[in-house]
Amino acid sequence: QVQLVESGGGLVQPGGSLRLSCAASRNIRSSDVMGWYRQAPGKQRELVATITTAGRTGYADSVRGRFTISGDNAANTVYLQMNSLEPEDTAVYYCNRRGPLTGILWGRGTQVTVSS
């Protein structure tokens, strides 16, 4: 059973933009927190951004001001708009869902490569 599916990754030049999507197969609960993480080769997986169903958001310092997380509750979908991309943003980006009734769920990841 696939419960989180990421899409939208690809190859872009520095300064370019991408929008990632995460579709949940089950309704997102009001107590859930959705998030995006990323992992580059040789690095630990790190938090990028989070959002609640009420619209509260949080960002890692490295992406604040460049990335925007948003959600569509009716569509059970979370987005990550990435602007002003830098080579340092290159990583596999993972969707995450967690909550007291949900547990912790991960998508399989989507590759983002920023290179000229």
The tens digit of pLDDT for each residue in 24-66 reads: 998 989 999 999 999 999 999 999 999 999 999 999 999 999 9
Using DSSP's 3-state secondary structure scheme, residue 103 falls into: strand
* Residues 110 and 83 sit within 8 Å (Cβ to Cβ): no
Tokens 């696939």 -> residue: 2
Cα–Cα separations (whole angstroms), residue 101 to 18, 19, 72, 84, 97: 32, 29, 20, 36, 11
Query: Does pLDDT of 108 surpass 90?
Result: yes
**Burial (Cβ within 10 Å: 0-12, 13-18, ≥19) of residue 106:** middle
Q: Residue 73 — pLDDT band, cuts 50, 70, 90? A: confident
Query: Would you state the pLDDT for residue 2?
Result: 79
Query: Would you state the pLDDT for residue 100?
Result: 95
